[in-house]
Amino acid sequence: MITVSKLLINTNSPRDATKEPNPCSWIYVKCSPDKTQVTHLFLTGIGLESSDFLPVICKIRSLQWLDLSNNRLSSIPDEFIDVCGQINELQTLSFSHNYLVGPLPTFHGFEGLKTLDMSCNSLGGNIGSQLDGLRSLKSLNLSDNNFNGHVPISLGMSMMLEELQLSKNSFQGSIPSEIVSYKNLHRIDLSENQLSGSIPEVLANLTNLTVLVLSSNQLSGEIPTSLSNIQTLQYFAANENNFYGGVPSGLTRFLMHLELWHNRLAGLIPPDFLSRPNVQFLDLSHNMLEGPIPANVSQNFVILRLGSNRMNGSIPVSFEALANLTHLELENNSLTGAIPPQLSSCKSLEVLNLAQNNLIGALPAELAGLGSLDVMQLQLNKLSGKIPEQLPDGLSTLDISWNSLTGSIPSSITGLNNLKFLYLQGNDLSGSIPDSLPYLVELQLGQNQLRGMIPLMPLSLQTVLNLSSNLFEGPIPSDLSQLNGLRVLDLSNNKFSGFDFLYYRNRSRMFLRRITGFDGVGVIKVIKNKTVLGRRCCRVEGDKTQPASIPRHFLLSLSAKVRNPKHPNNEKKQKLELKIK
């Protein structure tokens, strides 16, 4: 333990990590109940770089657990494998989150090893016989490396494997049927590889399987109905593949979590598919499913995503019973009818996305009672009437753009202290902008019938301020020059009559730099506004600012070569147009 003590002193570990003479008092050490033997070493996240000390650690013959994760180790000495392989009591070995490179070491000995975690490194090559000597292996994690070739089927001499995690590699070929030889498997994660072919029917023989993750591959074919017979299966994810055909009707019989988004599934959702009592998370978005949403829905749903399909009909009123629902996402379908006021009963709702449908009628005032609602997206529908005076007070994003809403922007919107993104463009709103919108990051009010003068805008605006195609008038406020982070300012098609903001307090050059993208791409549009003759403006050419006057009909094109300070040789020409007609 003297070596371990010196090791800790020279790393990022606390100064008093080895202050006590008894190693069993050290924070990185765990001992046997009688405090006579060191059994666990937790050397995680202490900045280890050299692997020279590893063989010395293996002289602790009582060691059962060795955790070297979250360091900067780049290699494992052969001597470590030889010496540690002789420790029959060693059950857990982790090199996760290091900088290991090269092929997977061949593990000789290690007869008692049950858990091997080599995830999140840069190991590569094929996996062949390197694991053959492991007699007791139950958990193998090789995820997030650079392994290639076929999915290994030789996973130790023991057939007791329970967890197999091979995600985020470059494995190719099909899912091997031989994997069912490991009958105790309860977790398989083969996601984010380059696997092809279909899901083997024989996977249904894994009667202990609880988690099956096949996401982000190139798998195809129909989803086997036999998976519905695995009574232990709780989590199944096969999103981002090329599966086609229908959704097996019994698939949610035992599942709690199902992800099949971004496939080519088609047809109707089976009538009882949403009613199974165990299911809590369902994502079938980005497929070609059609027909109505089944009205019989389990009250245990937490997340329901059916967006970007071809579904029609109305939103079921029965959703009012979903007291635990946090996400309801039905966007980009062909849903019709009104938004059910009964959705106000979903008190846990955090995200409501009904955008890009054919919904009609008014925005229900009852939705104001959704105190947990963070995001409400209803854009690109056919909603009409006025915006309710009261809105959910926890909103950070409100998008009701591109509808047929009328009336004024409710003054109560100024009390939404969490609101950062407000999209109301493309309606028929009238009146003025409320005086105080203190925390907004983006404001889109274009293509309405708003009028009056621009109120003081919050300094928090960092991306877009769009007031185009309205009836605003008067001078453009000079305080707009204070919006340091603004990337797009669109004031076109209004009745503004001055441009003092461009050179307020001789700041025109600084403001134009910010807006035109010296540290990001930006756009200013003031097309079709009134002008003031003789008004001084700016002509930017490269890095120069010169005075100019604006005639009655004039198109001033401001351009600048923009140099990225991180890549000084990568020079891009940005164009700033001030169109005044």
**Mind giving me the DSSP string for 61-113?**
TT--EEE--SS------HHHHHHHTT-TT--EEE--SS--EEEPPP----TT-
- The residues that bridge with 266 in the sheet, in sequence order, are 288
C-alpha distance from residue 221 to each of 171, 224, 264, 561 (Å) = 19, 9, 10, 52
Q: Does any domain span residue 218?
A: no
485 and 434 inside one domain: no
The one-letter amino acid at 208: N
Same-domain pairing of 480 and 576 = yes
Helix (H, G, I), strand (E, B) or coil at 201: helix
Residues 32-91 pLDDT 10s: 998 888 999 999 999 999 999 899 998 899 999 999 999 999 999 999 999 999 999 999
Count other Cβ atoms within 10 Å, centred on residue 409.
23
Q: Is there a contact between 485 and 519 (Cβ–Cβ < 8 Å)?
A: no
What are the Cα distances from residue 536, in Å, to 86, 127, 286, 542?
84, 72, 53, 19
247/282 Cα distance (integer angstroms): 12
Between vectors from CA 447 to CA 444 and to CA 450, what angle results, nearest 5°? Answer: 85
Rg (CA), the chain: 31
For residues 323-339, b (16+ Cβ closer than 10 Å) or e, as one string?
ebbbbbbbbbbebeeeb
Q: Do 318 and 458 belong to one domain?
A: yes
pLDDT score recorded for residue 402 = 99
Distance CA 255, CA 260 (A): 13
What per-residue confidence (pLDDT) applies to 484? 82
pLDDT of residue 523: 63
Tens digits of per-residue pLDDT, 18-42? 556 677 888 889 999 988 889 999 9
Residue 417 and residue 440 in contact, taking contact as beta carbons nearer than 8 Å: no
- The DSSP element (H or E) to which 9 belongs, if any, is helix 2-9
For 71, counting Cβ atoms within 10 Å of its Cβ (0-12 exposed, 13-18 middle, 19+ buried), the class is: buried
Which secondary structure element, helix H or strand E, spans residue 546, and what is its range? strand 544-549
DSSP bridge partners of 471 = 451
pLDDT digits (tens, 9 = 90+) for 500-528: 555 443 333 334 433 333 233 356 666 66
Beta bridge partners of 244: 264
Burial class (CB in 10 A: 0-12, 13-18, 19+), 434: middle
- For residue 220 the two structure tokens come to 């195809």
pTM as predicted:
0.86
> Averaged in consecutive runs of 10 residues, what is the pLDDT profile of the chain (581 residues)?
54 53 82 90 93 90 96 96 94 98 95 97 96 94 98 88 98 97 97 98 97 99 97 98 96 97 98 96 99 97 99 97 98 99 98 99 98 98 98 98 98 95 98 91 98 92 93 88 86 81 40 37 60 36 34 32 42 42 37
Same domain? 459 vs 488: no
Q: Is 399 within a domain?
A: yes
Residue finishing a domain among 468, 494, 515: 468
Query: Which H/E stretch holds residue 6?
Result: helix 2-9
In this prediction, residue 565 carries a pLDDT of: 40
Block residue for tokens 């991180």: 566
CA dist 518 and 578 (Å) reads: 18
If you count them, how many residues does the chain have? 581
Domain's final residue, options 468, 485, 514: 468
257 is written with which tokens?
Answer: 């979590």
Same domain, 318 and 448: yes
* Neighbouring residues of 544: CB distance < 8 A, sequence distance ≥ 6: none
Please count the structural domains in the chain: 2
| Contact by Cβ (8 Å): 330, 309 | no
Q: Are residues 463 and 510 in the same domain?
A: no
Query: What residue numbers bound the domain in which 526 lies?
Result: 475-581
Tokens of 556: 């001033």
- Same domain (yes/no): 453, 487: no
Pair 406, 529 in one domain:
no
CA dihedral 290, 294, 299, 300 (to 10 degrees): -30
CB contact at 8 A, 315 and 337:
yes
Q: What is the CATH number of the domain that holds 425?
A: 3.80.10.10
Residue 366 belongs to a domain:
yes
- Compute the Cα dihedral for 423, 424, 427, 432 and give only its sign: negative
Residue at a domain's end among 433, 468, 503: 468
Distance CA 75, CA 70 (A): 14
Check residue 476 and give its pLDDT.
86
Evaluate whether residue 425 is within a structural domain: yes
- Report d(CA 467, CA 454) in Å as an integer: 9
What is the distance between the terminal CA atoms of the chain, rounded to a whole angstrom? Answer: 82
* Domain assignment of residue 87, yes or no: no
Question: b/e map of 536-574 (b: 16 or more CB within 10 Å)?
Answer: ebbebeeeebeeeebeeeeebebebebeeeeeeeeeeeb
User: In this structure, are strands 567-580 and 554-564 parallel, antiparallel, or unpaired?
Assistant: antiparallel
The answer to whether residue 442 sits within a structural domain is: yes
Q: Using a CB cutoff of 8 Å and minimum separation of 24, what contacts does 543-552 make?
A: 545/508, 545/509, 545/512, 550/499, 550/580
Same domain (yes/no): 460, 343: yes
In a domain, residue 565? The reply is yes
Residue 460 CA to residue 419 CA, distance in Å, equals 11
Q: Which residues pair with 112 in a beta bridge?
A: none
Q: Does any domain span residue 577?
A: yes
> Are residue 480 and residue 577 in the same domain, yes or no?
yes
Task: Find out whether 493 and 513 touch, Cβ atoms under 8 Å.
Answer: no
Question: What is the residue-averaged pLDDT of the chain?
Answer: 86
Q: Are residues 432 and 539 in the same domain?
A: no
**Cβ–Cβ < 8 Å for 128, 104:** no
Whether 346 and 464 share a structural domain: yes
AA letter at 97: H
